[in-house]
Structure 1
Amino acid sequence: MTRGTETRGADDGVTTKLWRGGELVEEGFALTDVSERLAAEDALVWVDLCDPDHERLQRLARELSLDTHAVEDAVLAHERPKATLHATHTFLTVYGTNLRDPDPEEPRRSSLEVHRVSAFVLPRGIVTVRGPAGFDMEPVQQRWQDDPELLRYGVGALVHGLLDVVVDGHFETIQQLDQLIEGLEDVLFDDRASSREVQTRTYRIRKELVELRRAVLPMREVVNAVLRHRTEANHHASELDGYFTDLYDHVLRAAEWTESLRDMVTTVFETNLSLQDARLNTVMKKLTGWAAIIAVPTAITGWFGMNVPYPGFGKVSGFVASLGVIVGLGLVLYTVFRRKDWI
């Protein structure tokens, strides 16, 4: 194995691997040896840079003739998912997602984590660039390892494995959000549930869906562009067509599912507002009913409290009569309101 002064390992943010005929034959070689490995006809090279410093990335870019604008996009924040064809390579930027548990201290904060990974797709290799605490490449490596025969078809197999793991992560996140929305629907009609809690959970899920949508929807363009950018020079392209077609189908399903969840959470939000109005109307009816019942003794006692003589004035019979009128009218109103479900 050839090593130079810049030999790096995964522990300092650089991983290098070389396959021949689908078999891993070398790993951990220096960045200065990457172009030499890529020159071999039967070589398949992967270079992973985790939080690379500017000097190292620029040196590798010069060695591999990477587009300067693509190199800048690989490290800039807030780049949208895209696939761009350049003279010597195709540049990809995609986002992996996962959903952590909500923070009980800040329940309205989004629990969605979005991690970017950029890739320079060369004729015989791929260079991935990611942040310090970002996209986990272990599942991608496991995907390549589980299907070594696919690696015989060239760099397209590496690209497919990377995008497939990203899309699977999207599906997992979407499924978790779907379950959260179903749980939200269950408590929506529960009178014991706090209206503020429902509003907070709805707001957080809506925010997470907006962030997820920015990562999922552009994947249709990315995968479609990858399909277009595969050149005729890759004689194994036909063998990978089925894999990329299946991947594109998954991307479409993820996008449609995301849009469906967006409509669902909007419906939950609007339904919650309607239920609040309905509950408010119910409370107002009950208050109105009790106010009408309370108005009866107020009116009767006010009448009998006048400073003028009236039938039964100063007698026990007058008190009994007024009390009877209060109780009788109160019971009549209570019965009527109960039948109308006002109280």
Structure 2
Amino acid sequence: MSMAGNLRRVTGLGKAGRLRGGVARLTGRRDRVDLSHPARSPLGSAVVNCVSYQDGERVPGGRDLVDTVRRIRRSDEGFVWLGLHEPTDEEFADIADLFDLHPLAVEDAVHAHQRPKVERYDETLFAVFKTVCYVEHQELTATSEVVDTGEIMVFVGHDFVITVRHGRHGSLGPLREELEADAAQLAKGPAAVLHAIADHVVDEYLHVTEAVQADIDQVETDVFAQDGARADPGRIYQLKRELLELKRAVVPLGRPVLDLATRPVRVVDPEIQAYFRDVSDHLLRATEQIAAFDELLNSILQAHLAQVTVAQNEDMRKITAWAAVIAVPTMVCGVYGMNFEHMPELHWRYGYAMVLGVIAAACFVLHRGFRRNNWL
């Protein structure tokens, strides 16, 4: 059976009229809901959307992926946008053949866990973006999850865009709707979709950094409070750990985005490159904020450790001062506890009162001196 026939078979657009695994989940029917929207996209399904565009407008129909691609290539106008969510090797195999995708890029797209990058394979551009999401929490603890990450892989060709999403967030449904509302931008081709995805991902970086800053401000306030030495240092370590996760997503993307903005790329129109320069500026801002947060957390941690050390020194001074005060009566009582027959004032009627007075006077002088020196 030919590849086209195989695609039609797995899409379930024959007699049964149902979607059955593989690429069937990729095309869908026009009467099905748009599963790309976050409120409608069931996790665990590779279905997202498959839509063709011409002059920035969505083309009706397009039930058959192979026929849609053939029509676009025959007219040499428009492009198809195919979206997937965590597809398997089997679901992606026929698509890779149809669009002549490089096996290494296909492997990266299916198995994920890639570093942000942009690679060129002949006429195809392959980009990997790390998506981030701020995890809301009532109170920051030593085990709170602050940043959740995912991935978006994008294949860009002359007449197609394929997006592969991994993770529990980062739906491109709202982005698709925004692009469809701006036909002039969408008419610039697949590179416009690539820019929109990059811009969307980087904007989320900025939103997450703002939310993380609120957590850092709260920790800073708690550390420098009156009882800051009692603050839980585990929260600071947890924030540093989550900030490291955010840093791994943001920082490596700097060079690929800069390349898209400055170096000539066959599938990226020079007009679109100007938009990538704006994305690069936003990304640089996010990178600088993360670096500043890292330095600030180091300073907060050092300040907390210094506060703990000062508090411990104050406790030791108090203990030492009270030990010195108690040492006076202990010494006197120890001397008079000896069983010697001849001792000063042993048989004097007022000797006991005198000893108590000397002890009280000595303790008072020591206590006053320690209080004056802020030891007590």
In structure 2, what residue type is equivalent to 1:30?
Answer: D
- Alpha-carbon contact 2:152-2:165 (below 8 Å) kept: yes
User: What SS does the corresponding residue of 1:83 show, helix, strand or coil?
Assistant: strand
Establish whether residue 255 from structure 1 lines up as the match of residue 287 from structure 2. Answer: yes
RMSD: 2.5
- Alpha-carbon contact 1:117-1:128 (below 8 Å) kept: yes
**Identity of matched residues, %:** 28
Counterpart in the other structure of 1:25: 59
Within the candidate set 337, 346, 349, 1:305 is matched to: 337
Establish whether residue 280 from structure 1 lines up as the match of residue 312 from structure 2. Answer: yes
Distance in 2 between residues matched to 1:136 and 1:44, nearest whole Å: 21
Establish whether residue 218 from structure 1 lines up as the match of residue 260 from structure 2. Answer: no
Deviations 1:8-64 (A, max 9, x none): 263651301222222222366333345225414331321101122322201000000
Distance in 2 between residues matched to 1:304 and 1:275, nearest whole Å: 44
Distance in 1 between residues matched to 2:296 and 2:63, nearest whole Å: 50
User: Which deviates further from its counterpart, 151-160 or 6-15?
Assistant: 6-15
Within the candidate set 127, 133, 136, 2:168 is matched to: 133
Counterpart in the other structure of 2:77: 42
Distance in 2 between residues matched to 1:254 and 1:191, nearest whole Å: 33
1:89–1:116 Cα change, 3 Å: same
Within the candidate set 324, 342, 345, 1:292 is matched to: 324
Within the candidate set 197, 219, 240, 1:206 is matched to: 240
Return the offset for 1:166: 0.5
- Alpha-carbon contact 1:92-1:120 (below 8 Å) kept: yes
Counterpart in the other structure of 1:332: 365
- TM-score normalised by L of structure 2: 0.83
Distance in 1 between residues matched to 2:226 and 2:61, nearest whole Å: 61
User: Which deviates further from its counterpart, 117-126 or 96-105?
Assistant: 96-105
- TM-score normalised by L of structure 1: 0.90
Distance in 2 between residues matched to 1:21 and 1:126, nearest whole Å: 15
Deviations 1:119-146 (A, max 9, x none): 1011122100123634321342243245
In structure 2, what residue type is equivalent to 1:47?
Answer: L
- Alpha-carbon contact 2:222-2:228 (below 8 Å) kept: yes
Return the offset for 1:229: 6.0
Establish whether residue 85 from structure 1 lines up as the match of residue 114 from structure 2. Answer: no
Unaligned stretches of 5+ in structure 1? none
In structure 2, what residue type is equivalent to 1:179?
Answer: A
Return the offset for 1:322: 1.3
Distance in 2 between residues matched to 1:189 and 1:316, nearest whole Å: 59
1:318–1:246 Cα change, 3 Å: same
Distance in 1 between residues matched to 2:71 and 2:207, nearest whole Å: 36
Distance in 2 between residues matched to 1:288 and 1:312, nearest whole Å: 32
Establish whether residue 72 from structure 1 lines up as the match of residue 107 from structure 2. Answer: yes
Counterpart in the other structure of 1:240: 272
Within the candidate set 352, 368, 372, 1:319 is matched to: 352
1:223–1:56 Cα change, 3 Å: same
Return the offset for 1:315: 4.4
Establish whether residue 165 from structure 1 lines up as the match of residue 197 from structure 2. Answer: no
Establish whether residue 100 from structure 1 lines up as the match of residue 135 from structure 2. Answer: yes
Return the offset for 1:265: 0.8
In structure 1, what residue type is equivalent to 2:259?
Answer: A
1:194–1:103 Cα change, 3 Å: farther
User: Which deviates further from its counterpart, 221-230 or 316-325?
Assistant: 221-230
